[in-house]
Amino acid sequence: MSLLPPKPPVSSAARHVVFFDAECLMCDGTVRLLMDRDEGNVLHFATLQGPHARKLIDDGHLPDTHDLLGTLVFAENLGDPTHQKVTLRSTAVLRICDKIGGWWRVVGWLRIIPRPVRDAVYKFIAANRYKWFGKRPNDACFLPDADQAAKFMD
Q: What is the pLDDT of residue 108?
A: 85
Q: CA 23 to CA 148: how far, in whole Å?
A: 18
**What pLDDT sits at residue 9?**
53
What 8-state DSSP symbol labels residue 74? E
User: Do 39 and 100 form a contact (C-beta atoms < 8 A)?
Assistant: yes
Torsion of CA 40, 85, 121, 37, to 10 degrees: 10
pLDDT at 39: 86
Across the 154 residues of the chain, what is the mean pLDDT of every consecutive 10-residue run?
53 83 91 92 92 88 78 91 91 95 89 96 95 81 75 83
Q: How far is CA 28 from the centre of its chain?
A: 12
Question: How many Å apart are CA 69 and CA 67, to the nearest integer?
Answer: 5
The dihedral region occupied by 15, where left means phi > 0, alpha psi between -120 and 50, and beta the remainder, is beta
